[in-house]
Amino acid sequence: MQPKDLTPRDQRIDDALDTAGVRHRATFKQEWPLLLLLIFVWGALWQDFSVGNLLFGAILSIIIVNLFPLPPVVLPGRINLWYCLKLFIWFIGQVFAASVHVAWVAVARGRKARSALIAVPLRTESDLIVMTVGHVLTLIPGSFVVDVDRSSSTLYLHYLDVNSDAEVEKARAGIRDIERRLIMAIGSPDEYEAIKAEEGPDFSARRPAK
């Protein structure tokens, strides 16, 4: 595997402290999804979604994010709700299929179950996409992330029930398919165009090679 060029990119944010030791503060534009989530949590816990309650939740959320600031997340600035919905439905389907598979391996194979630690270099340069790919593949039974190389967007993951090199390649292609779906749903415009160019004109109709 060729190491990628390691220059910082605009989709990567610095860690919580920069070289001068100054902590970056998130702007409102970066923080509004977190605020919405906190307001939703407030409403859900009170089981009351009336305007007054949500407004009070909003005030509390603003106080919380200012008292306990988190490092900002760089949003890709693009979202396609149709692909998000497709991704979610596909995800639930994968979880069902893979749960049955892992259950069968646990019961039938047991001690003889073999697995593999494989490196999957991702095409994306965005922290957010790397993180979501890792989350999605960990939630789908059969694989989870052991290590991450942030500078080259490489995930090192443990894959259950791998017995041959062909299955390693199949697993790698599967992860890159998750990445493709995520970029189509929430990737930045540049990466979306790159994926479109890579997949050809009828990319959305193409079935994953599985």
Partner 1 sequence: MDFFLEIVVAVLLVVGSLMSLIAGIGLITFPDLLSRMHAATKPQVLGFLLLFAGLAIHLRSWILVPVLVLAWGLQLLTAPVSAHMIGRAGYRTKHVAKETLHVDELKKVISKHSEATGNTGAVRKIEGSKADENEKP
Could you list the residues that contact partner 1 (CB under 8 A)? 6, 8, 14-15, 19, 40-41, 43-45, 47, 49, 92, 95-96, 99, 102-103, 106-107, 109-119, 134-135, 138-142, 144-152, 156, 158, 160, 162-165, 167-168
- The residue (of 63 and 106) whose beta carbon lies closer to partner 1 is 106
Tokens 């989350």 correspond to 135
Nearest by Cα to 137 from 179, 89, 187, 199: 179
Give the distance between the most distant pair of CA atoms in the chain. 59
**Beta strand 115-121 with 154-160: parallel, antiparallel or unpaired?**
antiparallel
CB of 37 to partner 1, least distance (A): 9
And the tokens for 93?
A: 């389907």
CB of 191 to partner 1, least distance (A): 21
When the beta carbons of 11 and 192 are compared against partner 1, the nearer one is 11
Closest distance between partner 1 and the C-beta of residue 200, in Å? 29
Q: Which is nearer to partner 1, 43 or 69 (by Cβ)?
A: 43
Transcribe 73-88 into DSSP letters.
Answer: PPP-S---HHHHHHHH
The smaller minimum CB distance to partner 1, of residues 62 and 119, is found at 119
Residue with tokens 């939703």: 40
